[in-house]
Structures are given as structure tokens and as C-alpha cells.
């Protein structure tokens, strides 16, 4: 299996890491989540999708673990990341390719598809709704299902801004992350590494303190009204136990002219890990249908 690592110099002078795996005319660029996470939790894509005849491009966005990590919060904006993706695409020579974005990467993929639809063959939005308001509404409903004493404990820590305390982090992990981020026990090594390597400056600038408190600069992001402009074949994947509302995932597909939705019934936010067969089966079927002109 051929693999090639390439470091790309951006127009800002910074460098980002990419890695190609497989050889095929069917090409897919992967946008990881976070923001500020890394490609590491995508390692599971290789055994599934390369075997299915897809050439994969892993990529750590600027600020992420394998790429440059400048100490400059002004860089961490949706618009700059969108243009970074275009620079990476040009450097890799990708045309008529598939773009897959998961979580924050799904938001970024939506932004890219609206700006640069002419270069895309297909779009895959994984575990991401079309607005932060919808995301916040749903994650609040998940918190509301917790026992009152757990909710009160979380709120007390948040009122003090005590986001890094061992007690607060333990509550998040036990009552929310293990149920809605990744349901495997223990978490796979690639997932653990991704969280360990999170760039907190990027994450907190854009998202906020954690997955369940959104105060960062993308908190007002909303693309519901623009979904109808995305005319490339699109797959929207969610999961029953996700931090994103499955009903939103289905509604997104309804609003796009050429889209379908798939809900992984056993999965969570990282359904590529905790519902792998359903997740990768949906991607393989989508790519096969697009390639055959059946979409």
C-alpha cells in the first residue's frame, strides 16, 4: 500500500502536514474535527476505504498536531480555514474529488462546498448539523436528561469558570463523553491520542471550553438557509447517540437537491469507531453510486 507524506507551505508562510494512502482515480480529502484536533482518529479510515478503492488524503489543519502550531489566535477563523483547504487542494492537485468533513470538519466542508463547488465530485458531511444554534439546543437536551444533581454540579463549575478541574472533567467524561462522543470502552488509542494532542488555543478560540459549552467565535454560524445552494452529490451521516440531532441530519439532506442521509443506529459522534460497519458501508455505497452515475 503506497503512502506519501507531504508538507505544504501556506500563503501565510506556515506549513501543514498531509499524507496520501492508496492509489486510485477516486480521491477523498479528509477534514478532521476539533477545531484543533488532528487526523489521528481518522486512522480507521485507511483499512476500510483504501480497500474499497479510494485514495485517501489525511491532513492536519494549521494549529493541529502534525502541522505548524503558531501562537496567533487571529488565525483561528472559519473563513481562513476555508481558504486553507483550497490552498491544500491546489497543492495536492485534487480535481473532481470527494471531500469528507467530520464535526468541525463538517462545518468546514459545508463552507468549502458553498465557495468552491466546481472542484467537487461529492461531499460527505459527517456528524455535523447546519448551525451552532441547533447543536447547542440538542446538546442542552442531552444535558437535561442527566440526573439533577449532575446537572447542578456541572452548572456550579461552569458558573465559576472552573472548566479544567478534575471533578468537572470527570463528570463530562462519565456522563456525556462516554455516551455521546465515543461509546467504546476503553476508547481506541487513536481517539485518546487525538484528545491528548488537541490544540486548546484553536479549540477555545473557536468553540469554547468544551463540547457542551460553546462561547467561541463560530457560535453564531448558521448555514440552514444556504443548503439548497449545494448541488453536488452529498451524503450526510449522523448517529443515534451523537451530539448532533439525528433529525437535523435528515433535515439537512432534505434541503439539498442531491443528498441522502444515513443514521448509524449504534453510533455516537465518532460513529466511524463505534458503528464502523454502518458508517463506512454508507460511505462506500455513496461513492459507488456517484461513480456509477446513480445519484
Q: What digits encode the pLDDT tens for the residues 86-122?
A: 999 999 999 999 999 999 999 999 999 999 999 999 9
pLDDT of res. 54 = 98
pLDDT of res. 71 = 98
CATH at residue 265: 3.40.50.1820
Share of the chain above pLDDT 70, in %: 99
* Whether the predicted pLDDT of 256 surpasses 70: yes
pLDDT digits (tens, 9 = 90+) for 37-70: 999 999 999 999 999 999 999 999 999 999 999 9
Number of other CB atoms surrounding residue 65 within 10 Å: 20
Domain that holds residue 215: 3-291
pLDDT of res. 162 = 86
* Whether the predicted pLDDT of 2 surpasses 80: no
* Whether the predicted pLDDT of 137 surpasses 70: yes
Instruction: Specify the number of domains making up the chain.
Output: 1
- Which sequence positions are flagged as catalytic? 103, 242, 269
Average pLDDT rounded to a whole number, residues 6-23: 97
pLDDT digits (tens, 9 = 90+) for 143-177: 999 999 998 998 998 889 888 888 988 888 888 89
CA dist 114 and 221 (Å) reads 14
Q: What is the mean pLDDT of the chain?
A: 96
* Whether the predicted pLDDT of 1 surpasses 80: no
Share of the chain above pLDDT 90, in %: 88
* Whether the predicted pLDDT of 212 surpasses 90: no
Amino acid at each position: 500500500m503506497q503512502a506519501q507524506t507531504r508538507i505544504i507551505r501556506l500563503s501565510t508562510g506556515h506549513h501543514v502536514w498531509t499524507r496520501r494512502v492508496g492509489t486510485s482515480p477516486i480521491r477523498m480529502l479528509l477534514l478532521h474535527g476539533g477545531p484543533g484536533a488532528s487526523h489521528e482518529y481518522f486512522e480507521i479510515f485507511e483499512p476500510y476505504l483504501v480497500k474499497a478503492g479510494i485514495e485517501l488524503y489525511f491532513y492536519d489543519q494549521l494549529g493541529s498536531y502534525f502541522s505548524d502550531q503558531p501562537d496567533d489566535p487571529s488565525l483561528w477563523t472559519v473563513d481562513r480555514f476555508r481558504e486553507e483547504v483550497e490552498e491544500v487542494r491546489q497543492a495536492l492537485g485534487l480535481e473532481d474529488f470527494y471531500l469528507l468533513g467530520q464535526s468541525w470538519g463538517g462545518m468546514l466542508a459545508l463552507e468549502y462546498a458553498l465557495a468552491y463547488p466546481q472542484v467537487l465530485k461529492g461531499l460527505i458531511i459527517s456528524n455535523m448539523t447546519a448551525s451552532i444554534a441547533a447543536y447547542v439546543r440538542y446538546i442542552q437536551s442531552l444535558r437535561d436528561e442527566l440526573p439533577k444533581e449532575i446537572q447542578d454540579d456541572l452548572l456550579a463549575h461552569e458558573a465559576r469558570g472552573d472548566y479544567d478541574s478534575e471533578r468537572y472533567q470527570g463528570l463530562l467524561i462519565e456522563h456525556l463523553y462516554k455516551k455521546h462522543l465515543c461509546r467504546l470502552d476503553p476508547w481506541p488509542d487513536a481517539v485518546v491520542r487525538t484528545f491528548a494532542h488537541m490544540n486548546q488555543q484553536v479549540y477555545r478560540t473557536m468553540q469554547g471550553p468544551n463540547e457542551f459549552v460553546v462561547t467561541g467565535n463560530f457560535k453564531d454560524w448558521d448555514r440552514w438557509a444556504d443548503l439548497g445552494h449545494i448541488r453536488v452529490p452529498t451524503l450526510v451521516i449522523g448517529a443515534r447517540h451523537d451530539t448532533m440531532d439525528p433529525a437535523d441530519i435528515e433535515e439537512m439532506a432534505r434541503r439539498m437537491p442531491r443528498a441522502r442521509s444515513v443514521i448509524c443506529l449504534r453510533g455516537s459522534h465518532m460513529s466511524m469507531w463505534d458503528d464502523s460497519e454502518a458508517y463506512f458501508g454508507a460511505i462506500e455505497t455513496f461513492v459507488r453510486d456517484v461513480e456509477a452515475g446513480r445519484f
